[in-house]
Structure 1
Amino acid sequence: MLRGRPDDTTIAAALALAGQAPSVHNIQPWRWRVDRNAIQLFLDTERALPHTDPDLRDVVISCGAALHHLTVAFAAMGWATVVTRVPDPADPDHLASIRLVAHRATGQDVEMSAMIPRRRTDRRHYTALPLPPGYLGLLSERAAALGAIVRLVDDRARDRLVAAARAAARRHAGDPDYRWELALWSGRHSSDDGVPARNTPAPRSIDDLPARRFVAPGLPDAATEADHADVLVLGTPGDDRAARVRAGEALSSVLLTATNIGLATCPLTEPLELEDQRERIRRGVLNGTAHPQACLRVGWAPDDEDPLPRTPRRAVSDLMVGDRGQRH
């Protein structure tokens, strides 16, 4: 337990909410250690995806999203966070050290925390209803507060993004190691990690942006026309490990904010997993001004479909490291 800090129950509740963060293939690659004066976040490289994410970009971004979920959860419980990113140069897998300071929770703190269990990755097609005016400005503001930019992909840039996404999909389709890794982590029916079959619709050839071809897709998608989502690209000025942690934090903030507005979201990372296509997007979509870290579909979910089922998560006790997971 942290002396003079939250009790064990509060810490466990915040860590459980942090665990609701999205992660590539839902592998949940974060580990936590509760020290005397701080909570430590580590990357679990044993859960890396060498054929999907060879430079560990996706997993670090995923950990950044869990970090932001944690800070949001603590803020709603009356604890502000002071975050030091990549605090130990000798251990690049030590991604953050989080100290806690008592503060008075605001209405926005509580509102954002309430979005954590409501957020879902919605891979279905979005409707043609216009998006709320000003939504992009709000998402951009929330990302900027965490050191990232958000750009709407306009028609001209969309062609370049689509070309990069299709090139990545073609290369992955011809890579048996990538296909094996995707099959290993998808199509699941009873598991506390991976992508469940019930959460993935079948890809459709009429879509310009290709979707990952998860195993045994079981989510109905009754849409009869092409997807009407806006596509956003989130980028950072740098591209070191700390920048990728910040990218994950910003992505989490954007996702929770969009959920609070009522919008559906779906992160897209496949075209950024290949260095040449990532550079293509950096130059062709972001005009070379930032490093792309995630793409994101945003829109209105179909209102005539059933609510999305919850994606499973691992128990907090399975995610602790140090002293055999015991707090001290």
Structure 2
Amino acid sequence: MTLSRRKTLALLGGGAILAAGGVAAYGVTRTPQSALKPWTAAGGYSEPRMRALSYAILAPNPHNRQPWQVDLRTEGEVTLRVDTARLLPHTDPFNRQITVGLGCFLELMTLAAADDGYGVELDLFPDGEDPTGLDSRRVAVARFTQAGAAPDPLFAHVMDRRSLKEPFDTEAPVDPGALDAVLAVAQRTRVAGSVAAQDIATYREISREALRIEIETPHTYKESVDLFRIGSREVDANPDGIDFTGPMFEAMALTGTFTREGALDRTSMAYTEGLKAVYANVDTAMGHLWQVTPGNTRTDQIEAGRDWLRLNLATARAGLGMQPLSQGLQEYPEMAAIYADLHDRLAPEGGTVQMFARIGYGPDIGQSPRWPLESKIVNA
């Protein structure tokens, strides 16, 4: 029986919220509740596949779309498909970034299984693949084996992983040795990075221009705005997309001073202040890292996602903040010049730059809110 995605893994969803201090205090001070439960419930299953999947749904993915659908009807197997209703047709027209996110999911599932002593054998795209887009065909079949897989030390940092979307401390340089330790965890792709001052300045400028293009291109910007979740009530109601929570956003949501309509109005305070906030992030990068695959097949993209998850965990282990800067690698016409420039700089020997990120230290590393997640395992 196929279950709807909102009725799956019941232990990770729902729950009551109690207000203390009246309606206004409740609205302004509360944090998402049901949306965060996957983080506290991870690992709470005895069945090996369910336990591994309860961690896998915490994987990073574009715009927090959580596009995975899982079938557990075959004993000892996990079949992964993509939820085609959760794609990003404007900013990710060929579904490359979504596929990278699916690779993150598979790697985190594999690490969690290994932590229990299970091996995972992956058969990727067994029904074939289409470079122009994902469809209902199987993305992967994962077979769990009692092969005594060795636990990976990176798994210990799953609960610390964040995509830190805040300004970094520009008075705290990143040691080259720390960057090298992060890059060393990649197993399947070519990775590199830089904390040199001239490179930092160059990539800050490129990142800012890529953001400007995406925001000033109406169809790509609206795709993001449509996924804004403003305030805890919206996050709990739709725990995906781009969340805006915390006292300031709760107050703005209650007073109507921050709305999706306002964010689309280029004369509004919501638009101008939002622009300042995203520029503040890229302008405080204290280093960058990137990832290149030899080609751009679906398998290459999955392998990129698997290593990207490992890099995420390694930055958490190092106490570093990390935020993907995907805008310049997106394949729509308005971004073509930035895309070509980044490939010339980051992959001069050829290949596809799959991911690019800023790194640095910040006051809230390890304390910043976890990205809200929707619990979806279908056909369980």
Partner of 2:81: 42
**Which range is displaced more, 184-193 or 149-158?**
149-158
How many residue pairs get aligned? The number is 296
Partner of 2:119: 80
Determine if contact 1:183/1:214 at 8 Å carries over to the other structure: no
1:178 to 220, 223, 246: 220
Provide the secondary structure at the position in 1 that maps to 2:139.
strand
Partner of 1:319: 377
Deviations 1:51-72 (A, max 9, x none): 1111111111111111111111
2:55 to 9, 17, 36: 17
AA of the residue aligned to 1:290: G
Deviations 1:219-262 (A, max 9, x none): x99x9995142111111111111111111111001101111222
Question: How far apart are the structure 2 equivalents of 1:253 and 1:45?
Answer: 26
Superposition pairs of residues 262-273 of structure 1, within 5 angstroms = 262-273=319-330
**Aligned pair 1:141/2:184, yes or no?**
yes
2:145 to 77, 86, 101: 101
Determine if contact 1:271/1:278 at 8 Å carries over to the other structure: yes
Q: Normalized against structure 2, the TM-score is what?
A: 0.69
AA of the residue aligned to 2:356: C
Identity percentage over the alignment? Answer: 24
**Aligned pair 1:252/2:252, yes or no?**
no
1:114 to 138, 156, 160: 156
Partner of 1:52: 91
Superposition pairs of residues 266-305 of structure 1, within 5 angstroms = 266-274=323-331, 276=336, 277-302=338-363
Unaligned runs of 5+ residues in structure 2 are: 1-44, 250-269
2:174 to 122, 125, 131: 131
Determine if contact 1:119/1:255 at 8 Å carries over to the other structure: yes
Question: How far apart are the structure 2 equivalents of 1:234 and 1:47?
Answer: 25
Question: How far apart are the structure 1 equivalents of 2:366 and 2:107?
Answer: 29
Partner of 1:210: none
Unaligned runs of 5+ residues in structure 1 are: 1-6, 203-212
Determine if contact 1:125/1:229 at 8 Å carries over to the other structure: no
Partner of 1:309: 369
CA separation of 1:214/1:278 partners in 2, compared to 1, >3 Å: closer, same or farther? farther
Determine if contact 2:102/2:302 at 8 Å carries over to the other structure: yes
Provide the secondary structure at the position in 1 that maps to 2:185.
helix
Regions of 4+ moved over 6 Å: 213-217
Question: How far apart are the structure 2 equivalents of 1:214 and 1:238?
Answer: 38
- For the aligned residues, what is the CA RMSD? 3.2
CA separation of 1:188/1:77 partners in 2, compared to 1, >3 Å: closer, same or farther? farther
Determine if contact 2:200/2:285 at 8 Å carries over to the other structure: no
Determine if contact 1:71/1:81 at 8 Å carries over to the other structure: yes
- Give the CA deviation at 1:100: 1.7
AA of the residue aligned to 2:368: L
Provide the secondary structure at the position in 2 that maps to 1:274.
coil
Q: Answer with 1 or 2: which has the greater Rg.
A: 2
Determine if contact 1:120/1:308 at 8 Å carries over to the other structure: yes
Question: How far apart are the structure 1 equivalents of 2:199 and 2:296?
Answer: 22
AA of the residue aligned to 2:362: A
2:64 to 15, 19, 26: 26
- Give the CA deviation at 1:40: 1.7
